[in-house]
Structure 1
């Protein structure tokens, strides 16, 4: 697992030990960031279910200036901290060990908003529509902000809020799906 492009291109990242996480492959990561915008001119990223932090780190490498990483598993938090330290990103990053809904509530209390939200929870264990609606209810997405969802291909997004425009939905390898929304 490595950083695909940007300031930290080619740098190796540590993976979370064990089988509790499913890292996004470099191939998928590269394709996704070509869709999201190969490079960013500042902005903030929220990486929920961060695992190793690979997706959020990729966004920072490509020009985001602030990142918040959230995961509830101690091994994931330890790995994120190692990867952040390895790349010397400490001054750009906040890391929290908590569940996603608590993180959203705490973020809303701080009145933070994001340009990019990365959602890559364990497949089949999260209600994406509920999670995305919570993001919108708390006003955590900037206008034109992007929400990236990695999921099982058969995930149902039919009840998504109309303030979001689906800009891409694709299938990677038959079972992995990605859906990307932009806030109107």
Structure 2
């Protein structure tokens, strides 16, 4: 694994030790950023179930201003901190060891809004719909915010969830990417 593009291009990323984390492959990561970017002019990114931190680190490298990364696994948190340090992006990120639902609730109390959200929960957890609703209830999504969900290819999502409108779905073997956009703002991109 490595950073594909931007200010930290080519820097290697450490994997989380053990078999509990399924990192996003470079192929899928490159495809995701070609759909949502490829580059950004600022903005805030939230990475729930961050694992290695690879998606947020890629977003920071490509121009996002600030990232909040959460994961429950201590090994993942240690790996995220290592990867942020290795890419020189530590000062642009906050890392929390927390349950995703609790993290969303806590962030809502801070009046934070995000332009990009990554949801990549373990496939067996069926939390995505609940998290999407909580993100909207907590007003954590900026106008035009994109939500990128990495999930089992067998899972399907509605065309609209509250203010979120389905934009695109692609499959990569057993993995699928579904992208929503907060339709309150401009949805032409």
Is the structural similarity TM-score above 0.5? yes
**Deviation beyond 3 Å, 4+ runs, structure 1:** none
Measure, in 2, the Cα distance between the counterparts of 1:86 and 1:9: 12
Measure, in 1, the Cα distance between the counterparts of 2:37 and 2:88: 24
Equivalent residue runs for 1:1-184 within 5 Å: 1-158=1-158, 160-173=160-173, 175-184=174-183
**Unaligned stretches of 5+ in structure 1?**
none
**Unaligned stretches of 5+ in structure 2?**
184-189
In the TM superposition, residue 159 of structure 1 has moved relative to its aligned partner by: 7.8
Q: Is the 8 A contact 1:133 1:160 kept in 2?
A: no
Measure, in 2, the Cα distance between the counterparts of 1:28 and 1:63: 19
Q: Is the 8 A contact 1:40 1:63 kept in 2?
A: yes
Measure, in 2, the Cα distance between the counterparts of 1:160 and 1:104: 20
Q: Secondary structure at the match of 1:45?
A: strand
Deviation readout 1:126-176 (Å, 9 max, x if unpaired)? 321111011011010001000000000111312852411111101112x11
Measure, in 2, the Cα distance between the counterparts of 1:26 and 1:107: 29
Q: Is the 8 A contact 1:128 1:157 kept in 2?
A: no
TM-align CA RMSD = 1.0
Deviation readout 1:51-81 (Å, 9 max, x if unpaired)? 0000000000000010000000000000001
In the TM superposition, residue 90 of structure 1 has moved relative to its aligned partner by: 1.8
In the TM superposition, residue 111 of structure 1 has moved relative to its aligned partner by: 0.3
Measure, in 2, the Cα distance between the counterparts of 1:26 and 1:159: 27
What TM-score comes out, normalization by structure 2 length? 0.94
